[in-house]
Structure 1
């Protein structure tokens, strides 16, 4: 793995993740595909096995998995500041757009033509399919892991939901530990000079301290700002699965107390579906829509609060994860977990990504063409995103 120089590492990381934040449409599972294309295939910062290990770690942690993966990748390149700038670059585009929507530039989120949105959804199907194909070839090379992958796919399709996902990952870990031969651990990836086990322990303790003390502080000082920070921090700390799973928790946090009315909440959520980057930036819309402090300050307050738990958990877990993943029994368990991750991605590709995006034979043909373009390696995902939006917009206009 090549190292970036101290002078340009943070700025380079920011620009890389900013471009991903501008072009990564399709939700958290599609983001995993974009990240894999960028960091495993194109830049070769890490191999398939290590990438899948990071996905498994993020699946176990509460919070938005794709954003946590971006933070982890940033931390592996440049320590804690790398995690911060990776999050900032990936989050900034959609957060700013959600702020503009909240300020009334497009109150009902109808600024993107329906045809263009459909084109982006089809590109997302191709990106996820390409990621599943590549990861299956690398992580499921034998019949045992292929069978486990298909079993997990069937279970996830039959009983969807984040609880089942966690259970099948745990079950796959047990099966892998008892049944699979441990793979050879990939070379360790440096987490930078600023990350250590002592600091990892500090981040984990800070996460728990804030989770316990913020409600007490909000009750003691009767501050609306502190109450908002506490509510969004708890949402970011307690939601597993990320993405759309956060919707009911956010609705309880802001609609029930009367901070945001239900119509405004749904308008912002509708707009968030058309944006690249993490869905958790919906918090920026809600923070801006709340009367106090509201605007850009409220958006920043709620955005930081909902992502802070993920930041602390990722930096807290990584120093320990790097050594634990090299244990023989854990490597065997991770073989099962990696197969389960591919199975979960395949299930998500089938439903809801494929079932809600593909409407007819023409859509199937367009997805196939996009998939072949990715397979050839001649067209980067960001260019495919632009072509998909342009083609869908033109098709919708006629």
Structure 2
């Protein structure tokens, strides 16, 4: 492997690991951290490419922020780059939750001051990301109207399929409203993945979804049943990590594999660690079968997201050059802004800004990020320390 490529892969691993250690606040906040790191600081992709990638991942089932990270890793360093980006972003929280399951199952930490401080960090990060994205993606009245419609519908119609429905409606609106849009240079995502490999990934995704439950019925393998439970949960979730939690609860608590107290303790821990909420699966796997169970659960719940993003990215890169698709993307990108603002209000704002001191602290952290241009890890540390001292 050429030295230059080795350095590029090492950089992907280091940057994604740093994000995995510092990205608190859930999927919407993660997109803010990614935007700050990959677009503004590293300039690995431009604003349009990032917006298009976010739009695609919002449309796919699974953990959107993890899929965006994988997609950026793939365009930067090929398949191995995508794997390293996934490992770096996922491993810190997965390891932390496995250790929590093994050592601290009964500890109640969800009311700790430093956790509340990290929630306020998420407020600042998401506000900063929304401000930047809104400026670029909603420059005129039609796009602002689509964003407002998406925001309103997201808040008032809260179901598992709301987000997908809004994305589809916004795409249709964009197709109608922006079909005469002047040609502009689109973002450039270069991929070292063939269409054939992408098609194999899509076939594998659907094959596992269909045949794993059938195989489970004909075998008595506990590990196959465990893999199937997590794979199905990861395949059928629209709307981010919070939606997968009730699915996992229905899979494991009624069957007696996990007590309700153990589930709630893990939920509290999952809110306290950085990285994707889907790593809650690592906690459940570790409670039921030690660290090996945690590892199997993590692989199973994220495998659908990996197969879907690898299977759609090469086709997406071709489709987005089509003028009609570009019009639809304008509408989808505007809708994403509305969805992000809705998520910024609930649950991020409503669960974080509970008193005047919270708002003041959020304003300070936002200023540190937006105006003083301090790196995100400084904001995270400041938020945690401030939470211990003042909140």
TM-score class, shorter-chain normalisation, is over 0.9
**Structure 1 352/238 Cα, relative in aligned 2: closer, same or farther at 3 Å?**
same
Aligned to 1:74: 73
1:389 matches 2:384: yes
Q: Secondary structure at the match of 1:131?
A: helix
Matches within 5 A, 1:34-183: 34-105=33-104, 107-110=106-109, 114-180=112-178, 181-182=180-181
Q: Secondary structure at the match of 2:272?
A: coil
Aligned to 1:199: 197
Aligned to 1:328: 323
Give the count of matched residue pairs. Answer: 388
Residue 170 of structure 1, CA deviation: 0.9
Quick check: 1:218–1:227 contact (8 Å CA) kept in 2? yes
Quick check: 2:205–2:304 contact (8 Å CA) kept in 1? yes
Matches within 5 A, 1:307-322: 307-322=302-317
| 1: CA distance, partners of 2:214 / 2:166 | 36
Aligned to 2:300: 305
Worse overlay, 74-83 or 5-14: 5-14
1:346 matches 2:344: no
Worse overlay, 236-245 or 23-32: 236-245
Superimposed CA distance per residue, residues 25-57 of structure 1 (whole angstroms, 9 cap, x where no aligned partner)? 000100000000001111111111111111111
Superimposed CA distance per residue, residues 132-186 of structure 1 (whole angstroms, 9 cap, x where no aligned partner)? 0000001111111112212211221222233222111111111111012436242
1:364 matches 2:359: yes
1:184 matches 2:184: yes
Residue 5 of structure 1, CA deviation: 2.4
| 2: CA distance, partners of 1:33 / 1:11 | 23
Quick check: 1:113–1:393 contact (8 Å CA) kept in 2? no
| 1: CA distance, partners of 2:285 / 2:308 | 23
Quick check: 2:20–2:275 contact (8 Å CA) kept in 1? yes
1:295 matches 2:294: no
Question: What TM-score, normalized to structure 2?
Answer: 0.96
| 2: CA distance, partners of 1:371 / 1:297 | 40
Unaligned runs of 5+ in 1: none
| 1: CA distance, partners of 2:131 / 2:274 | 23
Worse overlay, 144-153 or 306-315: 144-153
Aligned to 1:20: 19
Superimposed CA distance per residue, residues 215-267 of structure 1 (whole angstroms, 9 cap, x where no aligned partner)? 12222221001100011111111111121101111011112222212211111
Residue 109 of structure 1, CA deviation: 4.3
| 1: CA distance, partners of 2:312 / 2:208 | 17
| 2: CA distance, partners of 1:5 / 1:109 | 47
Quick check: 2:94–2:280 contact (8 Å CA) kept in 1? yes
Residue 9 of structure 1, CA deviation: 2.1
Quick check: 1:4–1:77 contact (8 Å CA) kept in 2? no
| 2: CA distance, partners of 1:191 / 1:376 | 34
Quick check: 1:146–1:339 contact (8 Å CA) kept in 2? yes
Superimposed CA distance per residue, residues 334-363 of structure 1 (whole angstroms, 9 cap, x where no aligned partner)? 000000000110111112211111012221
Quick check: 1:23–1:277 contact (8 Å CA) kept in 2? yes
Worse overlay, 316-325 or 73-82: 73-82
Question: What TM-score, normalized to structure 1?
Answer: 0.94
Q: Which one of 249, 252, 256 corresponds to residue 258 of structure 1?
A: 256
| 2: CA distance, partners of 1:147 / 1:105 | 48
| 2: CA distance, partners of 1:41 / 1:162 | 32
| 2: CA distance, partners of 1:339 / 1:38 | 22
Quick check: 1:23–1:276 contact (8 Å CA) kept in 2? yes
Aligned to 1:229: 227
| 2: CA distance, partners of 1:179 / 1:187 | 21
